[in-house]
Amino acid sequence: MIRSAPVKLSARAAAIQESATLRVTRRAAELKARGVKVMDFGAGEPDFPSPPVAVEAARQALAEGFTRYTPGSGTPELRSAIAESSAARWGSPWQGKDCVVTVGGKAALFELTLALLEPGDEVVLPSPCWVTFPEQIRFAGATPVTVPTSVEDGFRIHAGPLLEAVTTRTRAILLNAPCNPTGGVISPEDLRRVVAFAAERGLMVISDETYERFVYDAPPASAAALAAEFPDAVALVGSFSKTYAMTGWRIGYLLGPAPVVHAVESIQSHATSNPTSFAMVGALAALRHAEPEVEVMIAEYRARREIIAEGLNRIPGFRCIPPHGAFYAFPEVRGCFGPGRRSSIEIAEYLLEEAAVAVVPGAAFGADDHIRLSFACSRATLAEGLERIAAALAR
């Protein structure tokens, strides 16, 4: 073997960190592979099967040879159907040409940050926030400016503090409601304030609505409802992953103003090209016919949310506000800090190694007093997992 000089990575690659959620998933997988029965609250992965109608449509597409490149921005049918669905639900003005189908919502966000941001720019976003947002913003050379939301009011996102954080360097305001990891939501009034302000200042509101269907006790709100009034200020990212339990299909999308859509199309044309052809056929079938399955999932998550919040609040040292949306509980766990468990990372490690329970440390989301538990897992996992956590922390 001939070894050369150590591989030199770009500064960009060296600065980026692996997603903490993926790290927990990998460690949990290692334990599972060794035969350990892990109670997995780690990944945000619905435990429901993908809708049969989607599976069947994709199977048929494969059988019929729909296996070639499609237009880079996705099939015209799916782009139109996504725009029509948004128009029907929210009165948005977008048409198929205003939609780019992407390789998951993650790729839409990544391409958007590359399309909009330059070194020196700032992006204002509520915190705690999904691990990927700050990394993507930094990757584009810009700076994330986080604005805290608080456990006291259920992590609601308020317009005032976000707008106060805007400076002359701000290029975009990034919203994610319902929020991963907190379940925090934004009211239609606050959302309107943010978008109107952005429109006045020439800023972009990037609204990541991946969990938009999972709202339990708050009025639904979507930036799509404001796109007709403020067409240049709204870029909406959506995903089939959580809504339809189609995480592995990798289908997401962007809806937005023409210049942004064109820039993202160009970037995508040099990055992924089209998302997988037959996966888009499945996604189209889900969008058209899988509403009954979605309703079932929403009802089940609503019930599990009660179970998990109640169970976590029974554990001494934990405090859990039932999340308003999404499918994550984000309890405060500072009351359990002690020797060997001095941070959310140490608590997560302790629970994985001592109780074979996988959770994500809140530090990954900028909140070291918390841990995140996904309740997109079976009720049996919920029951046994909660029991194990209580027993392990009582030791």
Ligand X SMILES: Cc1ncc(COP(=O)(O)O)c(C=O)c1O
In the complex, the residues that contact ligand X under the rule CB under 6 A are 44, 104-106, 130, 176, 180, 208, 210, 239, 241, 247, 252
The minimum distance between CB 180 and ligand X, in angstroms, equals: 4
The minimum distance between CB 148 and ligand X, in angstroms, equals: 18
The minimum distance between CB 376 and ligand X, in angstroms, equals: 10
- Mode of pairing for the β-strands spanning 371-374 and 360-361: antiparallel
The minimum distance between CB 130 and ligand X, in angstroms, equals: 4
Q: Which helix (H) or strand (E) holds 372?
A: strand 371-374
Residue nearest to ligand X as judged by C-beta position:
104
Cβ distance to ligand X smaller for residue 180 or 268? 180
Strands (E), 92-220: 99-102, 122-127, 143-148, 170-176, 204-208
Using DSSP's 3-state secondary structure scheme, residue 316 falls into: coil
Distance between CA atoms of 254 and 230, rounded to whole angstroms? 16
Residues in the chain: 395
Cβ distance to ligand X smaller for residue 341 or 374? 374
Cβ distance to ligand X smaller for residue 127 or 247? 247
Burial class (CB in 10 A: 0-12, 13-18, 19+), 185: buried
Cβ distance to ligand X smaller for residue 154 or 184? 184
Handedness of CA 288, 92, 156, 334 (dihedral sign): positive
Q: Which helix (H) or strand (E) holds 237?
A: strand 234-239
User: What is the token pair recorded at 160?
Assistant: 């005032």
Cβ distance to ligand X smaller for residue 213 or 341? 213
User: What is the token pair recorded at 344?
Assistant: 């959310």
Handedness of CA 18, 19, 20, 21 (dihedral sign): negative
Cβ distance to ligand X smaller for residue 209 or 336? 209
The minimum distance between CB 241 and ligand X, in angstroms, equals: 3
The minimum distance between CB 247 and ligand X, in angstroms, equals: 5
